[in-house]
Amino acid sequence: MLKGLIGKKIGMTQIFDEAGAAVPVTLIEAGPCYVTQVRLPEKEGYAAVQLGFGEANPKRLTGGQLGHLKKSELPPLRFLREFRIRSPEFKIGDKVTVGIFGLGERVDVIGTSKGKGFAGVVKRYHFRGGPKSHGASDRLRAPGSSSSTTTPGRVYKGSRRPGHMGSERVTAQGLKVVLVDAERNLLGVHGAVPGSKGSLVMIKDARKQ
């Protein structure tokens, strides 16, 4: 069974559980999605479905995208993503809604983290920084030594250095579903998910239960 949807992060709020405790919740506009393509093991070597989400102005899509959707008699959809399944049980044109998830289930939410631009090692990797005394007034947020001298005589690859921070694919694993509103296509998960308000996210069945 397919347990995956494309959605848009709305933002965070809170709800109160049975004990009266406030629970932080991220609201996601999940679906409705349409099956735009089905991949079969005998043809492509694996089973998967391609879902489309978010109707858009046809002028915003390329000719190839419009042709791909028009062939299946589907509306112009802005986002297309593929989800692996164990067996192909869907056909092109099927509609997938937030109703595939139930309260208490665990899901993984995949998104793109917020871009922070160029960042130093204190912000990027939580370095402690240099001493605040003994005249080291210009070393407070410096990274310190980068490597040895003659041997190896270079900086090792993968060293934590200043650079571009954020704008990366991030997966928040094992989030609990605390709200399912099929009428408004809303899904609420416990905790935070990567990305800014309005960003695209993918919701999948949790790999680690």
Count the domains in the chain. Answer: 2
Q: Average pLDDT for residues 145-171, to the nearest whole number?
A: 91
Which pLDDT value is given to residue 24? 95
- Give the residue numbers spanning the domain of 128: 116-144+159-165
Question: β-pairing, 4-16 with 169-181?
Answer: unpaired
Q: Is residue 149 part of a domain?
A: no
Same domain, 12 and 39: yes
Q: Global pTM?
A: 0.85
Using one digit for the tens of pLDDT, what is the confidence trace for 103-142? 999 999 999 999 999 999 999 999 998 888 888 788 889 9
What CATH number is given to the structural domain containing 184? 2.40.30.10
Question: β-pairing, 106-112 with 186-190?
Answer: unpaired
> Going along 85-145, which residue ranges are E strands?
95-96, 106-112, 117-119
